[in-house]
Amino acid sequence: MSKRYRGKRCVYCGRPGVSDTGDHVVARGFFLPSERADLPQVPACARCNNEKSRLEHHLLTVLPFGARHAAAAHTLDEMVPGRLQKNARLHRDLLAGWDTRWLGAYGQPWVEQRILPLDSRLVTHLCEFMMIGLAWYHWQADLAPPSQVRAEFFSPGGAATFETLFANQRWGARLDESLGGGTFAYRAAQDPNAPSRTIWRFAIYGGLVMSGAAGQPTIQADAVFALSNPSPRGLNPVQGA
């Protein structure tokens, strides 16, 4: 590993001098091999890198089943079988929980939808890691503790509130990025008066459809929205929320 990332402050936990690796903020495993160049990297310690990697190893096996981006079929066919072979327990759990449903409207062709069990909190927790890393990569903004970060799948009403926040002209720096031909996309905005106050929208694999939005288990959502705020001491809410 390049000396560039050794002995630095860990972006995720904020501890100085403990980084020993350059972490790919958005894991290389999300992408086909031809799409892995120039992905964002930040300094990370072994503890944070291992915790994030455990989330990634699980989700990179499960999430491609719900992919809707242009390379969805290639991602599922080329990358998932080998991962399932290495994780027999997860393979058994997925087979046991596999289900299909037919969705559609009267007079319209119905579409077969595959249903797999997944704890949405695993996805949102990974998004919290990624917002911390991406804020540092793009803006050198510190979202590590004691800053507060939170990511959730939201109902359509909650998503509309976040879209209203993005439209608010008070925000300063903005991001609108798409990696790997739509494999992973994110938008973000930063408060010019408080660098650690940010808002985010993540779309994974073209917008995974997840059941169980925050507080509404029957609602489906296709994006993760997130926000960060400074330390709880003297914390002010995001305006317009």
Q: Summarize pLDDT for 19-42 with one digit per residue, the tens.
A: 999 999 999 999 999 999 999 999
- Does residue 93 sit in the same domain as residue 124? no
Q: Report if residue 213 sits inside a domain.
A: yes
Q: What residue numbers bound the domain in which 135 lies?
A: 120-229
Q: Report if residue 102 sits inside a domain.
A: no
Q: Report if residue 103 sits inside a domain.
A: no
- Does residue 58 sit in the same domain as residue 134? no
Q: Report if residue 112 sits inside a domain.
A: no
- Does residue 37 sit in the same domain as residue 134? no
Res. 205: pLDDT tops 60: yes
Res. 173: pLDDT tops 80: yes
Q: Report if residue 220 sits inside a domain.
A: yes
CA dihedral 71, 75, 76, 81 (to 10 degrees): 160
All residues at 6 or more sequence positions from 76 whose CB lies less than 8 Å from its CB, including other chains:
64, 65, 67
- pLDDT-wise least confident of 10-19, 169-178, 229-238: 229-238
Residue range 62-72: average pLDDT?
A: 87
- Does residue 168 sit in the same domain as residue 209? yes
Q: Report if residue 161 sits inside a domain.
A: yes
* pLDDT tier, 116 (very low <50, low <70, confident <90, very high otherwise): low
- Does residue 150 sit in the same domain as residue 196? yes
Mean confidence (pLDDT) of the chain: 84
- Does residue 73 sit in the same domain as residue 125? no
Report the candidate in 133, 135, 122 with the shortest Cα–Cα distance to residue 199.
Answer: 135
pLDDT at site 220:
62
Q: Report if residue 30 sits inside a domain.
A: yes
Domain count across the chain: 2
- pLDDT-wise least confident of 85-94, 160-169, 230-239: 230-239
The answer, as to whether pTM is greater than 0.95, is no
Res. 145: pLDDT tops 70: yes
* pLDDT tier, 99 (very low <50, low <70, confident <90, very high otherwise): low
